[in-house]
């Protein structure tokens, strides 16, 4: 309890008292390291939870909607039979399954501009993506594969699949015997739906990892750079502060932009000024150095 109380005292003083920084520089560097570790831990946790709480309902709704839409990919009357490495379908060939594109609606993106931008990008991608998903044609060739503008073409012996850099050929003889219908596809979608219920919680761990990585790795590197800049600022003010002192001042003044960033993440608002975090931190650090120089 005492340690927590001490943390919030340092937190408050780092935000509100420029005189505090003179006292802080008289302590051991470990004092600043411990403060930053606790501050990063708290801010990273709050950011992760705020992001997850905000994203969870939308991501769950989005996944449920899109997964159910997947059921429409497989036609009701299509049956695929595999016997001894040879396939057949109950439809006339060539049989084509078109490639659908998802729409970003109100249930996933509240910001109309963002939603329209995503759908605009979708339209651009639609032009670059194949028109069709799968074409079934026993007589299909590589030329047909390109002409059909499809992700995959199933011919008599192989599946031609569009790879990242070239067309990949996958033999069909290893596929086990059986029949696949719309009902089987629905069962697969239902199982996928069950998995989607736990997917957002997995997303939480991914978000948490990325946030903690940002705070404990990227922000640490950032502080070393900021310390160097504040050291130059101190020289301009005529203050004989060492790089270590400038680094520690930067580490404590980062409290202000971190608090602002935490509030913005909770209310889900983006700051309109580029690099505002850095400039706020640098400005606060410069004010502290100026006050310290004035008080000498």
pLDDT for position 267: 80
Sign, CA torsion 240/243/246/252? negative
* Cα–Cα distance, 214 to 208 (Å, whole number): 10
pLDDT for position 241: 83
pLDDT for position 149: 87
89-98, 234-243, 246-255: least confidently modelled range: 234-243
CB 209 within 8 A of CB 198: no
pLDDT tens digits, 80-95: 999 988 899 999 999 9
**187 or 11, which is more confident?**
11
Per cent of the chain over pLDDT 70 is 85
Per cent of the chain over pLDDT 90 is 36
Report the predicted TM-score, pTM, of the whole model to 2 decimal places. 0.59
pLDDT for position 118: 46
Model confidence at 36, in pLDDT bands (50, 70, 90)? very high
How much is the average pLDDT of 106-111? 44
Q: Is the pLDDT of residue 104 over 50?
A: no
Model confidence at 248, in pLDDT bands (50, 70, 90)? very high
**107 or 143, which is more confident?**
143
Average pLDDT over the chain reads 82
pLDDT tens digits, 271-280: 778 899 999 9
How much is the average pLDDT of 224-228? 94
185-199, 214-228, 270-284: least confidently modelled range: 185-199
Q: Is 252 exposed, middle or buried (0-12, 13-18, 19+ CB in 10 A)?
A: buried
pLDDT for position 195: 72
Q: Which stretches does DSSP call E strand in the chain?
A: 80-83, 86-89, 95-98, 132-136, 150-154, 158-162, 167-171, 178-180
pLDDT for position 46: 86
Q: Is the pLDDT of residue 108 over 60?
A: no
Q: Is the pLDDT of residue 120 over 60?
A: no
How much is the average pLDDT of 163-167? 77
* Number of residues that make up the chain: 296
What are the distances in angstroms from CA 266 to CA 40, 93, 150, 260, 290? Answer: 16, 55, 44, 10, 33
- Give the start-to-end residue ranges of the domains of the chain: 2-57+199-294, 79-180
pLDDT tens digits, 125-162: 445 677 888 999 999 988 888 888 888 999 998 999 98
pLDDT for position 154: 93
Q: What is the maximum span of the chain, computed from C-alpha positions, in angstroms?
A: 91
Model confidence at 23, in pLDDT bands (50, 70, 90)? very high
Q: Is the pLDDT of residue 106 over 60?
A: no
């Amino acid at each position: 309890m005492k340690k927590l109380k001490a943390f919030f005292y340092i937190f408050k003083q780092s935000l509100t008292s420029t005189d505090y920084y003179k006292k802080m520089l008289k302590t051991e560097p470990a004092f600043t390291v411990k403060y930053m570790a606790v501050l990063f831990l708290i801010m990273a946790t709050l950011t992760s939870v705020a992001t997850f709480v905000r994203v969870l309902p939308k991501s769950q709704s989005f996944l449920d909607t899109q997964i159910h839409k997947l059921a429409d990919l497989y036609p009701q009357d299509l049956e695929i039979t595999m016997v001894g490495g040879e396939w057949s379908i109950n439809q006339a060939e060539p049989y084509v399954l078109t490639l659908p594109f998802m729409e970003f609606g109100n249930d996933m993106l509240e910001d109309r501009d963002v939603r329209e931008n995503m759908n605009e990008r979708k339209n651009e991608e639609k032009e670059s993506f194949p028109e069709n998903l799968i074409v079934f044609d026993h007589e299909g060739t590589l030329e047909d594969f390109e002409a059909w503008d499809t992700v995959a073409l199933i011919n008599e012996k192989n599946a031609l699949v569009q790879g990242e850099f070239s067309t990949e050929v996958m033999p069909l003889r290893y596929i086990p015997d059986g029949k696949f219908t719309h009902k089987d596809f629905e069962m697969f979608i239902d199982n996928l739906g069950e998995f989607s219920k736990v997917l957002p919680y997995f997303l939480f761990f991914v978000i948490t990892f990325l946030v903690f990585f940002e705070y404990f790795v990227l922000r640490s590197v950032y502080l070393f750079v900021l310390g160097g800049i504040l050291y130059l600022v101190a020289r301009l003010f005529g203050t004989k502060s060492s790089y270590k002192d400038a680094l520690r001042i930067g580490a404590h003044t980062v409290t202000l932009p971190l608090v602002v960033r935490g509030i913005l993440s909770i209310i889900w608002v983006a700051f309109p000024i580029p690099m505002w975090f850095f400039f706020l931190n640098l400005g606060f650090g410069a004010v502290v150095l100026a006050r310290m120089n004035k008080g000498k």
